[in-house]
Chains A and B, each alone.
Chain A
Amino acid sequence: MTQQARLAPENAAAFLPEPFLDWFTERGWSPRAHQIELLARAQAGKSVLLIAPTGAGKTLAGFLPSLTDLAVRPKRKPGEAHRGIHTLYISPLKALAVDIERNLGKPVGEMGLPISMETRTGDTPMHKRQRQKLAPPDILLTTPEQLALLISTADAERFFCDLRYVVLDELHSLVTSKRGHLLSLGLARLRRFVPGLQTIGLSATVAEPDELRRWLVPQNPPGGLSELITVAGGAKPDISILDSRERVPWAGHMARYAIPEIYDAVREHRTTLLFVNTRSQAEMLFQELWRVNDDSLPIALHHGSLDVGQRRKVEKAMEAGSLSAIVATSTLDLGIDWGDVDLVVHVGAPKGASRLAQRIGRSNHRMDEPSKALLIPANRFEVLECRAALEANYLGAQDTPPLLAGALDVLAQHVLGSACGAPFDTDELYGEIISAAPYAGVDRQTFDRVVDFVATGGYALRSYERYAKIRLTKDGKWRISHPRFAQQYRLNVGTIIEQPMLNVRYVRQGRGASSRGGAPLGKIEEYFLETMTPGDTFLFAGRTLRFEGIRENEAYVSNATGVDAKVPIYAGGKFPLSTYLADQVRGLLADPDQWKKLPEQVSDWLRLQQEKSVLPRRKDLLIETFPRANRFYMVAYAFEGRLAHQTLGMLLTRRLERAGAHPTGFVATEYSLAVWGLEDMGAMFRRRKPSLAELFDEDMLGDDLDAWLAESWLLKRTFRNCALISGLIEKRHPGQEKSGRQVTVSADLIYDVLRSHEPDHILLQATRADAAAGLLDVSRLADMLSRIKGRIMHKDLERISPLAVPVMMEIGKEAVAGDANEMLLSEAADDLIEEAMGGA
């Protein structure tokens, strides 16, 4: 089905109005084939998905149908009513909307086109929003949340009655989250307002383009696909893996060993973009580079937690070309233009082939020249992962995750928003929501339960009927029962739930939390700051800081230069190793012929493993057991990512407990899982009591999973998000903003009560579905358990194997896994007893 752009630029004249042809000619340019192709299909009334690499002129392509249509539209006569919006542009980032306004404004101005263009984001002042309602611009550049707000007003239908195109930028990134679900429902509403509405999706390369094609067109009846235009990647990127002079460490995520070599690479290039997976890696890398920065190169830091002012400064400097390097997390992942970058360095595991390709695409926005990238593995397993990612890149393999079914908490939010706009009929609304691809599979009963949830909470004990937010009236329509619910809805719209964060302010040492003011440095998660004692030092905003104290929602810090940071900030990376890369890594391990592609120290390590133990075949699961220092260990090399391994660890320890192995802990990495205990698990498996086949049986995903989940803090956190998004509890109440903690406490209490009284409540169903897909990675675990049936290799060893070293080094570094709070309390209480006895 994939269709390459096939119209030649010569045909441009057939589709482009005069001013456009002149504009291209004056500049000595010609429109690209895919730009004309997209224009032709749009003019034929089709919705289109454009998949193209960075630098292919995607934005102009996406807007050409609108610009050309608007250019030839007759002028509004004096006295004629204002026209509605013609084109809606939606992007995941506010910054992107602003960027587009600037970039698109240029050709529009130069051609003298009578087209008005405005942004509308959370930052847009109230008076401007009101004016936009009265005199809408032709092109409105906005975000998914703003669309949700716009369609929930009484005049929405009129506002959008002239809408012709919706341009969706960075569609591959939008569709993977709950924001995408909300957006899909918004689009379904727009289609009801304007049945012939056309969508134009702009996306980076993805594994399953058909998923996005379905997303762009109505799915009621199911099966519709948008048109597809694929622009082949430009020049293949020039990727290499650092072949270090130094010893590559067994474990760890920081790649400190490679700092001098990274610095050399920065020195040898004009502008280097350094990508890392987490904020803590960014802080560390930035600090370490400055430590060796003898040439005082301008190296900057950029991540999402930094103060906005700081970030804008860095972005400006980058645009002006005055930086030699910038250390960044995924805040810079999306399409903002960084023209002059000539090297991308990726520190740490790439996690996925598509992800790596998108990041490398940052460098060199001219698609015909090869981008240059250097991968820095932080440990030995990451060397294998980098190798697999590099090969995938040359093959053009894609491993973007499959799309998830639409979340029910988002649907609940949308149902209330619908009632805020106009009374709705359930048959009509049901027909509308199942036309949105993520919700195509929602059955009528589930939908009715969601409506019931919005109306009165949807409880079996129907005690809230008299307080209903929406009510069925005599005309058969659901109507909002009080205007204040609409006001509450508007304050709480959206699906982005942030971790409770505290502002970090910089004060003079010793002033502590008693002082006020101080320069803002950014925001840090409350849970991290809560573990600190005044005097602790840590890295943030590129400095070593001393923690002074917390007062209300601000944390005070002072300068601690010259001191080593004591407390590491570590939140694990959000993205697990992709299934595709995991399979490639297993393939690499299993095939010694390929080891010559690896650095010698790594291939030596694998040879040693072969000698001392065994390497698993590609489809097998290797289990090693060995004793060490009064404990017995079991290591499973599953390669399914840390989240799935954590879930597996929880379930295995429950089973081993029942089998009498007295497990006392486990630790999970991206690649493997180690469980330890007081009994010799190797001997137990040899006696087949239990056998490994029983231990790893798929039935662990039944009762054991349910029992564990019910108690897990992971589920509580997920429940809180669902409760906030669905409107069960409020993020914001008119006139007051709840602090994150108050919300957390009450969400936990609500969860406990609901779970014990109505375990099949729709919000608990939504929570379990969310957790299974996200934090627990249950489906991946299920796939693995079915894959390894009858393919488990057990190696009972006298001592630790070379392959086991990395995971064993993680033991003790990780916080206590699972729900060990009671144990910690008892330790704290016992400390007191010890102290009391000693002091007596």
Chain B
Amino acid sequence: MSQTAVKPATRPEEIEIAGERAVCDQSGVLYFPELDLLVVSDLHLEKGAAYARRGSFVPPYDTAATLLRLQAVVAHYDPKMVISLGDSFHDGRGSADMPDVFRHRLTALMAGRDWFWVAGNHDPDAPEGLPGETVRELAIGNLVFRHEPSRVAMPGEIAGHLHPCARIVQRGRSVRRRCFASDGSRLIMPAFGSYTGSLNVLDRAYAGLFSRDAFMAYLLGTRRIYAIAGSMLRPG
């Protein structure tokens, strides 16, 4: 299987999706150098506030933390175009109720870039009081961007929604990390939000999405991406 696992690449985090060169960043964003395009998925902004409305007072700093990380990575790549791939806000009230300080920060981040909000299941409508263009999906060259992955073979599709993570067992210890999931033809983005949970790539929810032989998980480490073949991963 190893022959078909991944095309030899100069750096492990550089991959190809439907022939388009992309960089998996350890922060959890995907960058296409030729297109100067940065993709981020499942920000789930204002998730803490959504929990608080139900009486679970998780710390109200998740939006600040998520934006801080996003600012850093946007500053690093300084892309012409940004796609937020759905579930940018945890619920419908998120964008309207968001404190102004965060709204200003987000607006500053968007300034001078083409910014697309792809609609997600948590935020089907356009965010309130923010610039950017809201779309159901977006096609660029060979690539198509949508929130929920299609259930049929879809070369060039970049999706989010599932919050992939992968687990390995090494020397009797289990390590679980968020990851990019790809077979070279399509890709599912890890969730970027500070409070987002994750779902193992071997779960039934991923069944039929990838070609099993070519499947790879790109696990987010603190300083680098760890590319690990599907055959080495564990469920759970």
Contact = CB atoms under 8 A, between A and B. Distances in A.
Contact of B232 (A467, A484, A753, A828): A828
Contact of A530 (B169, B197, B227): B169
A815 B174 CA distance: 11
A757 B61 contact: yes
A126 interface: no
Contacts of A820: 173
Given A758-B61, A815-B173, A464 B167 contact: no
Contact of A832 (B53, B58, B232): B232
B10 interface: no
Contact of B12 (A531, A829, A839): A829
B58 A729 contact: yes
A729 B55 CA distance: 9
Nearest to A462: B60
B226 A459 contact: no
Interface range for A: 35 or more
B170 A824 contact: yes
B234 A530 contact: yes
Contact of B59 (A484, A753, A824): A753
Contact of B64 (A530, A757, A824, A828): A757
A527 interface: yes
A746 B193 CA distance: 12
A467 B234 contact: no
Contacts of B3: 836, 839-840
A485 interface: yes
B60 A461 contact: yes
B57 interface: yes
Contact of A824 (B56, B65, B168, B236): B168
Contacts of B197: 742, 745-746, 749
B5 interface: yes
A52 B38 CA distance: 72
Decide if the interface of chain A is mainly helix, strand, loop or mixed. Answer: helix
A537 to B, nearest CB: 15
Interface string A467-502: 101000000000000101100100000000000000
A773 to B, nearest CB: 24
B139 to A, nearest CB: 33
B228 to A, nearest CB: 6
B138 to A, nearest CB: 29
A328 B232 CA distance: 38
Interface in A657-684: none
Given A464-B49, A745-B197, 17 more contacts: A459-B61, A533-B234, A729-B58, A746-B197, A749-B195, A749-B196, A749-B197, A750-B59, A753-B195, A757-B61, A829-B226, A832-B2, A832-B227, A832-B232, A836-B2, A839-B3, A840-B3
Given A821-B175, A831-B232, A832-B5, A728 B221 contact: no
A80 interface: no
B43 to A, nearest CB: 14
12 contacts: A488-B55, A531-B169, A531-B173, A533-B234, A550-B235, A729-B56, A741-B236, A745-B198, A825-B228, A827-B171, A835-B229, A836-B2
A456 interface: yes
Interface string B1-27: 011011000001000000000000000
B236 A550 contact: yes
Contacts of A728: 56-58
A619 to B, nearest CB: 38
B195 A456 contact: no
B59 A828 contact: no
A815 B172 CA distance: 7
A752 B52 CA distance: 18
Contacts of B60: 457, 459, 461, 463-464
Interface string B210-236: 000000000101110011110010111
Nearest to B49: A463
B99 interface: yes
Interface in B47-73: 49, 52-53, 55-62, 64-65
A469 B55 contact: yes
A755 to B, nearest CB: 9
B194 interface: yes
Contact of B222 (A752, A822, A828, A829): A822
A676 to B, nearest CB: 17
B232 A530 contact: no
B219 A825 contact: yes
Given A531-B172, A749-B195, A826 B55 contact: no
Given A463-B99, A746-B197, A822-B222, A828 B168 contact: yes
Contacts of A825: 168, 170, 175, 177, 219, 221, 226, 228
A453 B172 CA distance: 39
A827 B169 CA distance: 11
Contacts of A550: 235-236
A826 B170 CA distance: 10
A816 interface: yes
Contacts of A533: 169, 234
B236 to A, nearest CB: 5
A124 interface: no
Interface string A792-826: 00000000000000000000000110001110111
A598 to B, nearest CB: 36
A754 B175 CA distance: 23
Given A816-B171, A824-B170, A828-B228, A758 B59 contact: yes
Contact of A757 (B5, B57, B65): B65
